[in-house]
């Protein structure tokens, strides 16, 4: 019998799988079952639980632990006593005692600090930049008298040396002697109009935007100290922050248009100061708030304007706190309160230490006194900006507040437009032309100046047009003469060819335009008083009591009347809300500029000006 022949072709493999596949599967299942059975036998032999893992043993251990916890919950009586000194042991941890340093010098430290090379400091930007818009009456340069020209004296724009206040006019000024009045001539002989006083200050109503900010003097000096306190080369003059100039930019805000920042030409501003305005407003409280001279080193040719530009002189009044940043207003108030408290404390101390002979004892020893912002009371050999520390060592540092005032007044603005401002400060490079062996990088010695990042941009401010709407309640007899629906409003605006403000009165209905045109007045029915003015404001609504009931009140307690308010629509689409409370101060100030009701018709009707415009009154007005 022949042995079977094994073939590995396709038909032979397929035939083998059809005949023996179930046998192969059964063999594999059997092998797996054997493996599982062998694993179970091994587990029974090697993984039996130990006696301490039995449930009974675990329960017993838990019961013993619970008994132990309950047993030590209440400490024994002998452990509660303080004989063992538990309080003293805990006190060492609650208030550890620090041993004083040994009196002997320790030589385990280096004799000199680790020296570093000089690097370029970061110039900090001007902080909290703000802008305020308004209208002011600025004093102009006096006009030449006859053929005698007035000498052109350039203004000193350095606020540290502000111009002295101008002397009051010789005659006609407030508080001065009046010039003798000439006798009036009869009307038939002719009457010349009064000549203006050549010594009087001529004014001009100018819109402005005042930009103020905070110069971080102390923070900048700390940055310099951090860079140069351990430098291999130190120079007190170079290691003190020194500002050279600044770059101010402004942009006009237009709806739907991108901002376009343009630099302000400082030289043009300086020329306008010297050519148009009559002087500089004196500010005696300003010098302590300015950059010290050793910190503001400007080139007068390239940077004619200081960091705190002086305010132009007003024709009437003064700027006051309106020319300062709000931070300095609070600082001056705190400083005044601190000085007052110190003076009271010294007075009480002097009164308590006065001897029987009237002399005070226990005062400070004679020598240098407290250091002032002007350098008074400094030690011999000290320069402004140097102060002694606790060890008597003289160090360089700024005096006065931690911030110094940045101020710029922009007089080249257009009423009705909206502006924003930003500024960039520039300091002198303390590493200029420094040897490279003292520098981290030789490139830091090539730039003459260092610039700060741009400051925050101010909020948009709208420049007013100089016209204000005012309201005032009317007396009962005056209201009876008004038609139903008609109200009286006051307008404060520029006086024609006068360079000052003047009041007008207008009778208007809701929806009417607040324009004063005296030529429209009728005989016996005058709807306006005062000079002509165009405001193009529309009266939208009136709220409150029109009658002034302050004089008719009795002694009985009565509630105050509702305040009178009016809302107007400006030509640019914005609203102007005015109330009697806000208007009273301006009305009282300019009350004399409002012509009387019987002063005659306005200009253009052949009548002379109103009585408020001439010191002689109106001779054509009917006598009472």
Highest mean pLDDT among 53-57, 86-90, 226-230, 456-460: 456-460
> Which of 446, 465, 484 is the last residue in one of the domains?
465
Residue 279, pLDDT > 90, answer: no
Look over the chain and give the mean of its residue pLDDT values, rounded to a whole number.
75
> Which of 465, 497, 523 is the last residue in one of the domains?
465
Torsion sign, CA atoms 300, 303, 306, 309: positive
DSSP 253: -
The answer to whether position 1 is within a domain reads: no
> Which of 465, 491, 524 is the last residue in one of the domains?
465
Q: Which pLDDT value is given to residue 84?
A: 62
Neighbours of 549 (CB within 10 A): 13
Structural domain including 286 reads: 117-143+200-341+394-465
Query: Can you name the residues that pair with 409 across neighbouring β-strands?
Result: 210
In sequence order, what are the residues at sequence separation of 6 or more whose Cβ sits closer than 8 angstroms to the Cβ of residue 58? none
Region 333-360: mean pLDDT is 79
Q: How far apart are CA 205 and CA 314, in angstroms?
A: 10
Q: Show the DSSP H helices in 199-280 as ranges.
A: 217-228, 266-276
The answer to whether position 209 is within a domain reads: yes
The better pLDDT of the pair 590, 156 is held by 590
Tell me: do 461 and 521 sit in the same domain.
no
- Using pLDDT thresholds of 50, 70 and 90, give the confidence band for residue 622: very low
Tell me: do 428 and 495 sit in the same domain.
no
Q: How far apart are CA 566 and CA 159, in angstroms?
A: 42
Q: Which helix (H) or strand (E) holds 568?
A: strand 565-569
Tell me: do 526 and 443 sit in the same domain.
no
Tell me: do 440 and 485 sit in the same domain.
no
pLDDT (tens digit per residue) in 5-53: 777 788 888 888 888 888 889 999 999 999 999 888 887 777 777 788 8
pLDDT (tens digit per residue) in 25-36: 999 999 999 999
Q: How far apart are CA 224 and CA 122, in angstroms?
A: 8
Token pair for residue 447?
Answer: 């730039």
Q: How far apart are CA 357 and CA 369, in angstroms?
A: 25
Q: Show the DSSP H helices in 73-210 as ranges.
A: 77-80, 86-94
Token pair for residue 169?
Answer: 């006019």
Residue 297, pLDDT > 50, answer: yes
pLDDT (tens digit per residue) in 133-191: 988 888 887 766 655 555 544 455 664 444 333 333 333 333 333 333 343 333 333 33
Q: Which pLDDT value is given to residue 214?
A: 94
The answer to whether position 260 is within a domain reads: yes
In sequence order, what are the residues at sequence separation of 6 or more whose Cβ sits closer than 8 angstroms to the Cβ of residue 466? 135, 205, 207, 415, 493, 494, 501
Tell me: do 484 and 602 sit in the same domain.
yes
pLDDT (tens digit per residue) in 234-277: 888 888 889 999 999 999 998 888 889 999 998 888 888 777 77
Q: How far apart are CA 251 and CA 423, in angstroms?
A: 12
The answer to whether position 573 is within a domain reads: yes
220 by DSSP, 3-state: which? helix
- Using pLDDT thresholds of 50, 70 and 90, give the confidence band for residue 399: low
pLDDT (tens digit per residue) in 419-473: 999 999 999 999 888 888 888 888 888 889 999 999 999 999 988 888 888 888 8
What's the total number of domains in the chain? 2
594 near 612, Cβ under 8 Å? yes
Q: How far apart are CA 547 and CA 561, in angstroms?
A: 9
DSSP 613: G
Q: Which pLDDT value is given to residue 59?
A: 92
1 by DSSP, 3-state: which? coil
Q: Which pLDDT value is given to residue 410?
A: 92
Tell me: do 238 and 276 sit in the same domain.
yes
pTM for the predicted model, two decimal places: 0.61
Q: How far apart are CA 428 and CA 303, in angstroms?
A: 13
576 by DSSP, 3-state: which? strand
Q: How far apart are CA 425 and CA 444, in angstroms?
A: 18
Q: How far apart are CA 314 and CA 330, in angstroms?
A: 24
The answer to whether position 325 is within a domain reads: yes
Token pair for residue 93?
Answer: 């941890």
The answer to whether position 16 is within a domain reads: no
The answer to whether position 290 is within a domain reads: yes
Nearest to 122 by CA among 401, 430, 329: 430
Tell me: do 301 and 429 sit in the same domain.
yes
Which own/partner pairs from 236-239 qualify as long-range (CB within 8 Å, at least 24 positions apart)? 236/386, 236/396, 238/430, 238/431, 239/396, 239/430
Nearest to 206 by CA among 276, 256, 136: 136
Q: Which pLDDT value is given to residue 270?
A: 85
Q: Angle 142-144-150 (CA atoms, 0-180°, nearest 5)?
A: 80
Tell me: do 295 and 336 sit in the same domain.
yes
Q: Mark residue 377 as left, alpha or beta (left: phi above 0; alpha: psi -120 to 50; beta: remaining).
A: left
Torsion sign, CA atoms 50, 54, 58, 61: negative
Token pair for residue 130?
Answer: 């703000």
The better pLDDT of the pair 604, 252 is held by 252
Tell me: do 434 and 305 sit in the same domain.
yes
% of residues, the chain, pLDDT over 90: 16
Tell me: do 204 and 268 sit in the same domain.
yes
Q: How far apart are CA 509 and CA 542, in angstroms?
A: 10
Torsion sign, CA atoms 589, 593, 595, 601: negative
The answer to whether position 38 is within a domain reads: no
Read out DSSP for 498-558? Answer: TSSEEEEEEEEETT-EEEE-GGG-BTTB--EESS-EEEEEEEEEEES--B--SSS--SS--
Tell me: do 445 and 475 sit in the same domain.
no
Residue 624, pLDDT > 60, answer: no
Q: Which pLDDT value is given to residue 75?
A: 62
Tell me: do 499 and 542 sit in the same domain.
yes
Backbone angles phi, psi at 88, to 5 degrees: -65, -35
């Amino acid at each position: 019998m022949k042995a079977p022949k094994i073939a590995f072709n396709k038909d032979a493999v397929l035939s083998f799988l059809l005949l023996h596949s179930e046998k192969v599967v059964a063999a594999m299942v059997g092998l797996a079952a054997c493996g599982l059975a062998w694993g179970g036998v091994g587990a029974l032999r090697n993984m039996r639980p130990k006696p301490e893992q039995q449930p009974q043993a675990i329960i017993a251990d838990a019961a013993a632990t619970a008994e132990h916890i309950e047993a030590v919950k209440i400490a024994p009586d002998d452990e509660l006593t303080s004989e063992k000194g538990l309080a003293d042991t805990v006190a060492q941890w609650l208030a550890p005692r620090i041993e004083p340093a040994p009196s002997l010098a320790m030589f385990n430290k280096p004799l000199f600090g680790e020296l570093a090379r000089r690097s370029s400091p970061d110039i900090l930007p001007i902080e909290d930049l703000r802008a305020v818009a308004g209208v002011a009456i600025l004093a102009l340069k006096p006009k030449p008298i006859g053929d005698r020209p007035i000498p052109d004296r350039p203004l000193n724009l350095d606020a540290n040396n502000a111009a002295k206040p101008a002397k009051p006019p010789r005659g006609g000024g407030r508080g001065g002697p009046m010039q003798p009045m000439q006798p009036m001539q009869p009307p038939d002989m002719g009457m010349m109009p009064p000549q203006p006083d050549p010594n009087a200050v001529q004014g001009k109503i100018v819109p402005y935007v005042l930009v103020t900010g905070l110069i971080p003097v102390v923070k900048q000096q700390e940055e310099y100290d951090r860079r140069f306190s351990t430098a291999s080369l130190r120079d007190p003059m170079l290691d003190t922050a020194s500002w050279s100039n600044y770059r101010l930019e402004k942009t006009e805000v237009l709806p739907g248009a991108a901002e376009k920042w343009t630099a302000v030409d400082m030289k043009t501003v300086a020329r306008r100061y010297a050519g148009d305005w009559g002087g500089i407003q004196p500010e005696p409280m300003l010098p302590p708030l300015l950059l010290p001279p050793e910190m503001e080193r400007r080139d007068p040719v390239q940077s004619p304007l200081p960091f705190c530009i002086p305010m132009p002189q007003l024709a009437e009044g003064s700027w006051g706190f309106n020319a300062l940043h709000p931070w300095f207003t609070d600082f001056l108030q705190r400083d005044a309160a601190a000085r007052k408290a110190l003076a009271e404390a010294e007075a009480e101390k002097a009164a308590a230490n006065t001897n029987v002979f009237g002399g005070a004892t226990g005062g400070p020893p004679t020598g240098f006194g407290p250091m002032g912002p002007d350098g008074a009371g400094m030690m011999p050999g000290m320069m402004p900006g140097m102060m002694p520390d606790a060890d008597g060592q003289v160090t360089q540092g700024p005096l006065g507040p931690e911030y110094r005032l940045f101020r710029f007044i922009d007089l080249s603005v257009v009423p009705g437009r909206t502006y924003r401002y930003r500024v960039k400060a520039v300091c002198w490079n303390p590493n200029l032309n420094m040897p490279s062996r003292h520098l981290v990088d030789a490139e830091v010695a090539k730039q003459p100046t260092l610039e700060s990042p741009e400051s925050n941009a101010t909020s948009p401010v709208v420049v007013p047009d100089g016209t204000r709407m005012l309201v005032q309640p009317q007396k009962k007899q005056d209201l009876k003469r008004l038609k139903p629906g008609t109200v009286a409003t006051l307008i404060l605006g520029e006086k024609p060819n006068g360079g000052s403000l003047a009041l007008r009165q207008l009778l208007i209905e809701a929806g009417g335009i607040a324009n004063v045109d005296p030529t429209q007045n009728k005989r016996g029915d005058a709807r306006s008083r005062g000079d002509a003015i165009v405001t193009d404001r529309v009266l939208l609504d009136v709220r409150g009591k029109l009658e002034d009931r302050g004089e008719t009140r009795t002694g009985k307690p009565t509630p105050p009347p509702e305040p009178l308010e009016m809302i107007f629509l400006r030509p640019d689409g914005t609203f102007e809300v005015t109330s009697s409370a806000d208007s009273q101060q301006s009305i009282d100030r300019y009350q004399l500029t409002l012509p009387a009701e019987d002063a005659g018709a306005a200009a253009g009707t052949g009548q002379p000006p109103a009585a408020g415009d001439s010191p002689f009154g109106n001779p054509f007005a009917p006598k009472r």
